[in-house]
Amino acid sequence: MRIPGRNVTRVTGYMGKLLDRFIQDNRNSRGFTFFEGETAASLLDRDDLDMWLWTEYGAPTAYGHIQRFPHNSRKQGVCRFGVCVDKDERGKGIGTGVVSFLMQQAEMMGMRKIVATVYEDNGPMMHIYTQRHGFREEGCFVGEEDWGGELRNVLSLARWL
């Protein structure tokens, strides 16, 4: 799915500075903790991630990844999504577009099941996954992550292709 006014590019080695910029701008996002402790170099070194950046006028506005499990034979055909929309760009339909794009990519990769984890209190992403894209809750990890002394519940969502 194309997001009006945004270009999507698969992240490769030459995009390290742009990816680092997005990571730095969104490192403390309450809705996406995947970047914690990561740099563009560390992400680019991973063989289990396919990453994309959405940009507007050369500035990154959203990030999405598909995490595969290449070293686990029992998880072949299963992938995990990661989505982050810049805080200044939220509420514009970008998250819906990113998830739609990732679903198309996962299907082209031959994936059969998509898994996503979402904080229980992240209503916008819950809506995108469940209402817009048909993901179903598979479980709840109560008090799973500590955010500044506040224990937050994490929901596991899944969609079969």
**Amino acid (one-letter) located at 34:** F
Q: Which string of b and e fits 20-49 if b means at least 16 CB within 10 Å?
A: bebbebbeeeebbbbbeeeebeebbeeeeb
Mean pLDDT of the chain: 94
Spatial neighbors of 21 by CB under 8 A, at least 6 apart, are: 60
Q: Which domains does the chain have, with CATH numbers?
A: 7-160 (3.40.630.30)
Spatial neighbors of 12 by CB under 8 A, at least 6 apart, are: 44
- 156 burial class (0-12, 13-18, 19+ CB within 10 angstroms)? middle
**Amino acid (one-letter) located at 14:** Y
Compute how many other C-beta atoms are within 10 angstroms of the C-beta atom of residue 114.
Answer: 23
Is residue 2 scored above 80 in pLDDT?
A: no
Give the pLDDT of residue 1: 62
Is residue 4 scored above 90 in pLDDT?
A: no
pLDDT tens for each residue of 15-56: 999 999 999 999 888 888 899 889 999 999 999 999 999 999
* Mean pLDDT, rounded, for 2-10: 87
